[in-house]
Chain A
Amino acid sequence: MSEPGQSREAVVEKLRADLERASESGATRQLSERPQALREYVAAPGREPVESYAAIRELLQAHWKIPVIETEDRVAELEQLGGARGSIGRCGVRLLDLVGSTDIHIVVRGDPRGEERQMLWTLLHELGHLAWHLELLESVGAVYQRVCLNPGLETELARFSLDRGPSLQRMTELEADLFALDWLIPRWWFGEATPPGLPEALTADGHRCLSLRRAFGSQPLPLSEAAVAGLNRAGEEERRRSEEALRPGSTRWARAAWLLWNRERLECPLSAELVAEYDLIVGGGGRYVPELRQPAIGPGGLEPDPPWLPRVAPDAAAAAVDEPGWVPRLVASEGPRYPEYNIPIRPLPSPEPRDSRLRWSHMFKPATQKALSLESWIGRAREQGVGLLLFPRTPAERALDSRGVPRA
């Protein structure tokens, strides 16, 4: 644990310096340097965990320019590669355009005045997505835009999402949990002997159980003989449970406990095979856009059933974009076949809460373009016989706009 009595500034500064040291390049200025730095940092032997939510949040916001948005509302919905994400947080990665910058927002559900410990876990879990899944998240962002250049790409994605999406989702969530767990309970804590300061009667299982309780913010136990016996029993029970497969829909505690007793035998990344399958479909990871080298010319085949992207009827589009959501919505062209292209649009930043009231701009046109109303774009797409891919503001972007935080 970080030294009690240390100022927040000192904790942030040390954390920043430790992360830079952990990075291969010795720096964390570039987004691409951060995942590896985070993974190395949590694995460093002898590291004492930083448990200050405020300090980690400050590091992200002030030094890494990643806004952390706190909300008391639900923050998630169905994810596009299958399955439902938890409702406690979100690592939102959005590509503003094909070759421009990547916007990352971390959303944490809760009120830091009363739920800081729970929010710390959530924040670290979302940071785990950054550490393990940045390339995958960027790739999904790029695929949304590639579907505009090559609508037929949706067919394979729909199939993958249906068949493999839920498994991929489970694996990536476990990886993010494992990152949070490794951050708060370093692996080096569990050596051969009982660490100094702990009763000798505390078994290895009891020690794990105690660490987990502390990580989840339980009240400190006076380590009496009876309490130690209780921890040992509870730890033994957790170990026994962890020998079975993790049940879908398990609680956060159950997932963390299962990982704590299993992590030494798990080989990360757990999702490697599934990500490789996904990469085969999209032709390469990250921001790979083969359509730039070889434009897809001519109409594609039949649309998949069920489709990959959520569809919205033209007359329901205004209501749909005002709903909180993280994924684009497609106003599909008429007919059962793919159109030649989909027009990607997004609303201008504004404190106005409803996207349907805003002007929308084409995502690939210069910033000097005339932004149009949603209705005008719907009419324009209809005239051209093509789809219109709507990228409404995410709840994170809306929160930033309402606070007047500038963003592209």
Chain B
Amino acid sequence: MDGDHQSYESLDRRLTRVGCPYKLYEARIHALEVVARRPLFHLIEEEITARIPAAGGAPAWAAQFERDLKTFGLLEAILYFHSYPPLDPGFVEGACELYERLARLYLDRLDEIRGSDDPRVLAQLHYLRRLGDSREHAIPRPLEPPRIPDGAIAEPRQPELDVGYEPRLPPHADLLDVAAWMAKKPVALRYGCFADELCEALAAGFVFEGFSGPQAAFFEVAATLEEHEVDPFGSEGQYIFALLIRQLGEEVFGDYEHWIPCAGCGENFCIEVSLESVNASLVAGGWKCGECGGFGEREG
């Protein structure tokens, strides 16, 4: 235990040490339970919620903790302990340790969760998406595997349009609803090429299901392109990135956190989103700090 965790800053340092940007909501912990094959969520009730009154908070603070957990996820629910009546430091450290255990386990099993066909896992993530809650904590992220372009990065170019193009993706229900609402009748979404269809599906996800922030979003886009056998650095991939970057600049996906804390120099640095900077982040596996050239390397 590194001292007193009663201040916001010390709690924040303690909790972000593990470097897990994913907000641990109940649904995400249930997804983790499935891949880890053991119940975990009850630990929060047993080790935190039930102990708050004995640790110095009245029962009402336990209810507050539950509300924060539901609204903001586990990290922020514990972070708010700084605003509670003084709590037993041993209890607070225990809560931080539990968060760390769950967050570490989540990071360890992330690939399984991401690649799963298991509806028990996917239903939880789907539920989170429907709540529009895919945003991450703005903290240094674990590095992604660097993506090395196979030759020079191509210029963005829209593929040739085909009047008979048959859609290859399931239509986004909310997008259809909005299109029907605007046209006052059902409207078929038509595309001339796969790149346009995929770009609209990606944008619809960001609009209706939440934007995970520039740190993570372009890695998600790259992974989706690769799933569809589209080279992120080819002309089609670059075309999709360019369209999404333009929409991001127009705040089609809403506002987002531009500032990231750098694990290298400890300062916050601003993400300037452009096709060039997105490509550089994909090649490096993360966004680099302009000051020190470091990026979110994890401690511990």
Contacts and interface: CB of A to CB of B under 8 A. Distances in A.
A97 interface: yes
A342 to B, nearest CB: 7
A341 interface: yes
A367 B119 contact: no
A368 B168 contact: no
Interface stretch (B11-19, B123-131, B291-299): B123-131
A198 interface: no
Most buried by B among A97, A295, A381: A295
Given A292-B124, A298-B37, A406-B187, A343 B169 contact: no
B119 A350 contact: no
A168 to B, nearest CB: 27
A292 B118 contact: no
A50 interface: no
Interface in B1-41: 26-27, 30, 33-34, 37-39
A344 B126 CA distance: 13
Given A291-B123, A380-B117, A368 B188 contact: no
B204 interface: yes
Interface string A287-298: 001011111111
Most buried by B among A296, A359, A406: A406
Given A341-B120, A367-B204, A361 B170 contact: yes
Classify the secondary structure of A's interface with B: loop
Interface in A354-385: 359, 361-371, 380-381, 384
A406 B201 contact: no
A340 interface: yes
Interface stretch (B52-60, B171-179, B279-287): B171-179
Interface in A260-278: none
A105 to B, nearest CB: 13
A100 interface: yes
B119 A368 contact: no
Nearest to A62: B185
A96 interface: yes
Nearest to A349: B171
Contacts of A349: 167, 170-171
Interface residues of B, number: 45
A343 B129 contact: no
Interface string B185-210: 01111000000001001101100010
Interface string A140-153: 00000100110000
A340 B124 contact: no
B46 interface: no
Interface size class of A (residues with CB under 8 A): 35 or more
A99 B227 contact: no
A369 B130 contact: no
Interface in A121-179: 145, 148-149
B274 interface: no
Nearest to B166: A350
Contacts of A96: 173
A98 interface: yes
Nearest to B221: A368
B201 A367 contact: yes
A405 to B, nearest CB: 6
Contact of A370 (B38, B177, B202, B227): B227
A348 interface: yes
B119 A100 contact: no
Given A348-B167, A406-B186, A408-B173, A370 B228 contact: yes
Contacts of B119: 145, 148-149, 341-344, 362-364
B277 interface: no
A247 interface: no
Contacts of A359: 168
A406 B228 CA distance: 24
Nearest to A383: B117
B216 interface: no
B77 interface: no
A371 B120 contact: no
A245 B90 CA distance: 73
B224 interface: yes
B126 A98 contact: yes
Contacts of A87: none
Given A98-B126, A99-B126, A384-B117, 5 more contacts: A289-B123, A295-B30, A359-B168, A367-B201, A408-B172
Interface of B: 26-27, 30, 33-34, 37-39, 117-120, 122-127, 129-130, 166-173, 176-177, 179-180, 186-189, 198, 201-202, 204-205, 209, 224, 227-228
Closest CB pairs A-B (n = 8): A408-B173, A364-B122, A406-B188, A148-B119, A367-B172, A364-B126, A361-B170, A99-B130
Interface of A: 96-101, 145, 148-149, 289, 291-298, 340-344, 348-350, 359, 361-371, 380-381, 384, 386, 404-408
6 contacts: A145-B119, A292-B123, A344-B119, A367-B172, A407-B176, A408-B176
